[in-house]
Chain A
């Protein structure tokens, strides 16, 4: 709100690993929730977190 340094994690958007047995996904901090949800939907999984702010 003043003149902070904005650390934008938009560049860190890799989904690294998904283990379908344990249902654990490993991804970067900048992954957009909607992208992750779309990626997992193809595999028959869903993110157990649904926010109004989830994507663009």
Chain B
């Protein structure tokens, strides 16, 4: 429906700026690469705020705490930890049956906790060694009560999809 005169004008305009357009198009992949490279770098250097704040005087988690917490998970919640010596302790003392099912007190490597310790954007990094995944509000309640009584710091985490680093 476009008048022919206009079409010709358009064509002329395109020819005039054609060179520039091509140059601009050539720059797009480069810009894209730079963005990709930047996001990889930020993942590697996932920033921690530990340098700009001081840790509160909270209890450091021990295998005994993990064992106690496992005992609070009555509705098939799970607990993951990279703490050393944890599994032996639980096996020998408290939860031989449940541990053999491989659910609570599961020993994992630090890398496996990265999914919980690095935020969605790969920008911030936490250093938690114990992740607890309750299945009911009763479990959440028992866990928070235990942590309060024992002066243990907690971080509530949903899908860890937040974009501003508050979930770690």
Contacts and interface: CB of A to CB of B under 8 A. Distances in A.
Given A32-B159, A32-B161, A53-B163, A6 B134 contact: no
A17 interface: no
Given A6-B168, A53-B120, A11 B77 contact: yes
Interface SS majority for chain A: loop
Contact of B131 (A8, A12, A29, A55): A8
B133 A8 contact: yes
A4 B113 CA distance: 13
Determine the interface band of chain B, counting residues with CB < 8 A from chain A: 35 or more
A7 interface: yes
Nearest to B132: A7
Contacts of A1: 48-50, 53, 124-127, 168
16 contacts: A2-B55, A5-B131, A5-B132, A5-B153, A6-B126, A6-B168, A7-B144, A7-B155, A9-B140, A9-B157, A11-B77, A11-B135, A30-B159, A32-B158, A53-B120, A56-B159
